[in-house]
Amino acid sequence: MEIIVGVDIGNATTEVAIGKIEAEQEFNFIAEGEHQTTGLKGTEENIKGIMNALQQAVQEADLKLEDLDLIRLNEATPVIGDVAMETITETIITESTMIGHNPSTPGGVGLGVGKTVMITELDSCSAGEEVIVVIPAEIDFAIAAENINEGLARGIEVNGAIVQKDDAVLIANRIDKQMPIVDEVKFIDKVPLDRKAAVEVASSGGTIQELTNPYGIATVFDLDADETKHIVPVARSLIGNHSAVVIRTPQGDIEEKRIPAGKIIAFGESGKEKIAVDQGAEEIMKSIEKVQPLKDVKGESGTNVSGMLERVRSKMKQVTGQNLSDIKIKDILAVDTFVPQEVKGGLAGEHSLENAVGLAAMVETSQLPMQQIADALVQELPEVEIEIAGVEANMAISGALTTPGTDKPIVILDMGGGSTDAAVLTQEGNIHTAHLSGAGNMVSMIIETELGLEDFDLAERIKKTPLAKVESMFNIRHEDGTVHFYDEPLAPQLFSKVVSLDEGELVPIPTDHSMKRIRQVRRDAKKDVFVRNAVRALKRTIPTGNIRDIGFVVMVGGSALDFEIPELISNELSNYGVVAGRGNIRGMMGPRNAVATGLVLSYLNNPRWN
């Protein structure tokens, strides 16, 4: 009897399959295990995750670790995702400062323009002078309203107010003129005085119009063409707000700094291509395809993209010990996205959405890191033989063929956390494979970046679960528009929140983004990564290069479990007349465990078995 184990180290999950070979050459799978991958895929840090998955599997099989005869590891290729800004690394405003924090209850309505004046100094203003009063917390709302009314009576054009406390409505209800009032300005001491300012509050249910329009701001502050270009990030960052303040400050208050996005230089067997990042993901991917197969990718020195690619190489150097010169980038996936960038000169943490390109870079596999994992595993299990067995895509084919209803020719899409692998097994038994960067982790990175979450775990939850909006204490509205009612009242803290439906549990999402916006970002990210990778992987692996020449695609891997990715891919491939669906490994595992299963099955061709 022999006990054979297949271990698939993925970017997100490490999976184990255990098979038993009886003396009469009877073979059976007897257990499976699964654990989160520890450390970067393809490094010695993976050992802890491997051991945990093995412990889980041997317990299920009622075995001990020392009962194992052979452990077969897959070839693990690490993939790292990062973001390269398209034009600038931070939004810089040279001629203005702003408050756009969108308090829940501003007062009044309309647009008011004037010089900023402390409410206690209103007596020093002259009749006909246009002012915006600044009201700190120590001034009671009733006194502030009285002072404003007195100023209006003396002919001072009080056109708006900036208030520290939550007093906007209280003040608006007590003054003799309708004007926009923005409150809850925590750092009101930072509001510059004696500077021209514009305050805008939209009508109920609306959003501001003038201060989201760069030409509107230019009109208010009498800006020339060059100054208007600098004000664009201010206008963009205020889009969707119910209220805002823009204040012009002296020239030179804030220093401008720009770092260009730069160019990507792709080296392939058919030549070299240089493409500017600011041309966008579509042009980058066209250039990458022109020089396939890719040998390496570098960035223009002193630019954003150069820094991003060097971070990838440096990280790989740290975890593998390889020389930088030996680390080659074998594939790039580029995706257009948006990145919230802090507006320098803002007073309330304002951000502007800047165009960006997300990049996932796949580093060339070296046998050395995998051998280090094998050597480290020998130290943990000295009585067990360890070997590095096969390429992921080839092993996935063996595993996927255990899906009921499949046969040669077959196309496998193995979609994990870091990479998308494709393999075609022809009727004649020939195998063509492609190993591409970009998968589940990149989707999460795009969601985290575009929604400005700064929380990868939250982005993962948004990626994996449907959304709903809690409309009352007894009902929620799902993202597809259907309504679900509850017999018992929901928790008060869920009211009016966007929630994720995590196995029936309502988990609030701590963000101000609407359900529609979150859903759109999530689905767009999945399309940009998985649908794009599915199409380019198939084009590379199908001998004719024509997707219409295949009939069936089986999707495996952790991302094939996603509630919408297989549907998105199936819809796209239906345009080519292709039937695509989730695999069901061994008729019981669903799309999971394909590579681990294949590692065990491929051993059956071993002379010791034959």
Q: Write out pLDDT tens, residues 379-413.
A: 999 999 999 887 777 788 889 889 988 887 788 99
**Per-residue exposure over 145-167, b if at least 16 CB sit within 10 Å of its own CB, e if not:** bebbeebbeeebbbbbbbbbbeb
Q: How far apart are the first and last CA of the chain?
A: 14
What is the reported pLDDT for 307? 79
**Pair type for strands 2-9 and 13-21:** antiparallel
The SS3 assignment for 13 reads strand
Q: What are phi and psi of 97, to 5 degrees?
A: -130, 165
- Residue numbers in the chain where pLDDT is lower than 50: 83-95, 252-257, 607-610
The SS3 assignment for 62 reads coil
The SS3 assignment for 216 reads helix
What is the reported pLDDT for 413? 92
The SS3 assignment for 4 reads strand
What is the reported pLDDT for 317? 75
CA distance 542 to 531: 17
CA distance 336 to 281: 5
List, in order of start, the domains of the chain with CATH numbers. Answer: 1-76+366-402+588-610 (3.30.420.40), 81-89+258-363 (3.90.470.30), 93-247 (3.50.30.70), 452-510 (2.40.50.140)
Return mean pLDDT, the chain: 85
Neighbours of 579 (CB within 10 A): 12
Neighbours of 559 (CB within 10 A): 27
pTM, two decimals, is 0.72
What is the reported pLDDT for 133? 96
